[in-house]
Amino acid sequence: MSIKFNPDDTQVNVFSLKSDSLTRSGGDIKSSDELSGVEIRLSRVLIINNGTPKIFPFPGLAQFYLLIIVVSDVDEGHQTIDLKGFPKVDDGEELPVDRTLFYFKKTKKSQKTPGQIHVWISVIKSKENLRDVGNILAEVRKDGEYNSWMSKIKDALSITNPAMQVVDGITKLADIAGKYMGKVEDKAMISWQQSFTDISGDLDALGKHPKDMKNDKVSLGLTLIVRDKAREEQVLKSQQNIEVIENLNLDIE
C-alpha cells in the first residue's frame, strides 16, 4: 500500500511580502519593478529521530526519501518536482541538501516578477532499500493523473488567495509520487508547504529571511532571498563599508 498525504497533517505557512509603504536607507522601493531577484534555498533537513530503535547489534539506521514540489506563477507557470534518497541515516544526522529550490532573476524591464511561490517539502521513511529516484520521477512525470493535477494547480495560481487550493493540488501530486516509491511508511515524517505571496505589491521583505518548521522527528529550514536594484547599487557603492553591508543583510560574493 502506497503512502497517502493528508492535508490535515501538512504544516501550511503563508509569508506575505506585501506592505503599504516602505522606506529604506538608499531609497524608496515603490513597486515590484524594483525587484531584481528572488531565491529560495533549502538550508536544512535534520533527522532528529529516525524512528528506528537501536537494538544490538543493529545500529538503528533508516532510509529516507525527500520529496520537493515547487510551483509559481512566474513565466506562466513554473512547476518542478524532485526526489532524493538518503540511505543509512542516524538520529541527529543532517542530510546534505543545501541547494536552490527556486531562482528568479529579472532580465527584462517588462518581465513579470513572481507573485506567488509555493514550496512543498516532505520527508518519507522507506521500509525497504531505496529505489532509483530517477526512474521514480520518470514514471511520475508520465502519469496522466499527475499531469492533470499540474494543469489544475496552474489554473489555481490565477486565484487571488490560492494557498489552500494549491496545497490540495500538491497533496495529490505527492500521493501520485508515493505510488512509485515502493514500501514506505503510511505517514510522512513531516510535510510542509511554505507559500510566499504578494511579491507583486510594495515590498517589505528585502534581504534574507529564514523560515523553519519542525516536529519531534524532523527539522526543516528554508531561506528566502529578495533583492532589488536600489539596494544592489548601494551595496556596490559600499564595498569598503562593512557596517553598511551588514545593515543591508546581504552577502557580497
Conformation bin of residue 51: beta by default, left when phi > 0, alpha when psi is -120 to 50: left
pLDDT digits (tens, 9 = 90+) for 180-227: 998 999 889 999 988 887 643 334 466 788 899 999 999 999 998 887
What are the grid coordinates assigned to 34, written together?
524594483
Supply angle C-alpha 130, 131, 133, rounded to 5. 110
Average pLDDT over residues 104-115: 74
Query: By C-alpha distance, which of 180, 114, 168, 108 is closest to 141?
Result: 180
Banded model confidence at residue 140, pLDDT cuts 50, 70, 90: very high
Per-residue pLDDT, 253: 46
H-assigned helices in the chain: 133-142, 144-156, 163-178, 229-237, 242-248
- How, if at all, do strands 190-197 and 11-16 pair? parallel
Banded model confidence at residue 38, pLDDT cuts 50, 70, 90: confident
What are the grid coordinates assigned to 249, written together?
543583510
**Residue bearing the bigger pLDDT, 73 or 244:** 73
Query: By C-alpha distance, which of 221, 219, 173 is closest to 5?
Result: 173
Banded model confidence at residue 91, pLDDT cuts 50, 70, 90: very high
Q: Is the pLDDT of residue 232 over 60?
A: no
Per-residue pLDDT, 23: 32
Q: Is the pLDDT of residue 249 over 60?
A: no
Q: What backbone phi and psi angles, to 5 degrees, belong to 248?
A: -80, -15
Per-residue pLDDT, 125: 95
CA distances from 204 to 50, 86, 91 (A): 38, 37, 38
Per-residue pLDDT, 75: 64
| DSSP 8-class letter at 130 | P
- Neighbouring residues of 148: CB distance < 8 A, sequence distance ≥ 6: none
Banded model confidence at residue 161, pLDDT cuts 50, 70, 90: low
Handedness of CA 67, 80, 174, 159 (dihedral sign): positive
Per-residue pLDDT, 27: 33
Bridge partners, 172 (sequence order): none
Banded model confidence at residue 19, pLDDT cuts 50, 70, 90: very low
Per-residue pLDDT, 201: 39
Percent with pLDDT over 90 in the chain:
40
SS3 213: strand
Average pLDDT over residues 47-54: 94
Q: What is the mean pLDDT of the chain?
A: 78
Average pLDDT over residues 227-251: 58
* Domains observed in the chain: 7-248 (2.60.40.150)
| pTM for this model (two decimals) | 0.80
- How, if at all, do strands 78-89 and 62-72 pair? antiparallel
Q: Is the pLDDT of residue 159 over 90?
A: no
